[in-house]
Every structure is written in C-alpha cells, then in structure tokens.
C-alpha cells in the first residue's frame, strides 16, 4: 500500500531516519505526488523559525527586526531547497535515473522536514542548561544524522552507489551554503 500527503511523507521519512528502507517503498512515485510534497517547505518552516529564535535568544537576544530577518532566512532556505531540486533533476536525467527522480523528490522533501526537527531537537540540551560540550555533541549528532539520512534517501531513491550519493548530499550542502552566503551578502535585510 502506498501513501501520500503530509502524514505519509513524514511517516516514510521517519522510517528512513530509523534506518528502515521500507519508508521509501511506501511512497508513490508519481509526478503529482512529488509536486504535492513541496508542502514540506511549509511544514518545516515552524521548526526553522523556532530554531532561529532559540539561536538568537541564546546569543544576543531577539533583534528588533526579527520578523523581517525570519522572512529573509525562510526565503533563502526555500530558494536553496528548490535550487537543489532543479539541479538534482538535471543530474538524475544525465545519469539515466530520471524515472526515479519523482520518488527522490518526495523522499528528499520529507527528509528535510525530519532534518529540521533534528536540528531543533539538538537545541534541547542548551535550553535545559546542559554544559556547552553536551550542546555541541547534540548539534554534531543532529547534523551527522541529517547528512546520513540524505545519503540514504539518495541511495535508495536514485539507486546510486555510495560515492555518488555522497556527492549529491555534498552538492546539496554546497547549494545551501552558496544561497545562504549570497542571501546574506546581496539581498537587503
């Protein structure tokens, strides 16, 4: 039985986050389902905003123009997310993996929500007053887990080898960092 929608996409991504490959099998690989999975951007937004607010609170306090800065960061995040999707389509087609790309998009989108939740969960030790080392370990674990999740998603959906999957995950990170830098440099805040 295949699933779609928010609950189905999140269920599949959480299965993958636990190391269960059957999460990918549960998703329908139709183009319409892949298009609907972009709802994941909106589902991830509250976690990303909460993460930013917690970071500001821990550092120097919430700035006066917080709403504008949050909107700016969400825009940069959405553009980088979509930028990688466009790039991944070109790569998948060139590698002969085009027919697998809709399932990849579904999985990638929902795994990004899980990654945002992992990053938010990594702030819990600091919020509870844990030592700085515990906070840093939680952040490294969350980042490593999110990268691993992306790697698994690429391998299973595009049916690639481990090195090509690593390349695509690193490319995703590079696109994200590039848009983040460009957004902070060239876009008005």
pLDDT one-digit tens code per residue, 92-109: 999 999 999 999 999 999
Distance of CA 29 to the CA centre of its chain: 19
- pLDDT tens-digit series, residues 21-62: 888 877 777 778 888 889 999 999 999 889 888 888 877 888
Residue 155 belongs to what domain range? 5-186
> Is the pLDDT score of 186 beyond 70?
no
User: Is residue 3 over pLDDT 70?
Assistant: no
Its pTM stands at: 0.85
Reported as a single tens digit per residue, the pLDDT across 123-177 is: 889 888 899 999 999 999 999 999 999 999 999 999 999 999 999 999 999 988 8
Look at the chain and report how many structural domains it folds into: 1
The pLDDT score that the predictor gives to residue 188 is 54
pLDDT at position 183 is: 67
């Amino acid at each position: 039985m295949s699933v779609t929608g928010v609950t189905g996409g999140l269920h599949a991504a959480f299965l993958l986050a636990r190391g269960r490959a059957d999460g990918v099998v549960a998703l329908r690989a139709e183009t319409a389902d892949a298009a609907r999975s972009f709802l994941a951007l909106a589902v991830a937004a509250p976690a990303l905003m909460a993460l930013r607010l917690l970071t500001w609170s821990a550092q120097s306090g919430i700035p006066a123009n917080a709403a504008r800065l949050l909107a700016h960061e969400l825009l940069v995040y959405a553009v980088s997310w979509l930028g990688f999707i466009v790039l991944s389509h070109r790569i998948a087609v060139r590698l002969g993996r085009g027919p697998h790309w809709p399932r990849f998009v579904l999985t990638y989108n929902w795994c990004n929500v899980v990654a945002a939740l992992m990053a938010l969960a990594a702030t819990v030790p600091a919020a509870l007053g844990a030592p700085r080392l515990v906070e840093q370990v939680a952040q490294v674990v969350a980042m490593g887990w999110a990268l691993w999740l992306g790697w698994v998603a690429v391998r299973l959906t595009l049916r690639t080898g481990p090195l090509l999957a690593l390349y695509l995950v690193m490319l995703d990170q590079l696109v994200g960092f590039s848009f983040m830098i460009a957004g902070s440099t060239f876009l008005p805040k």
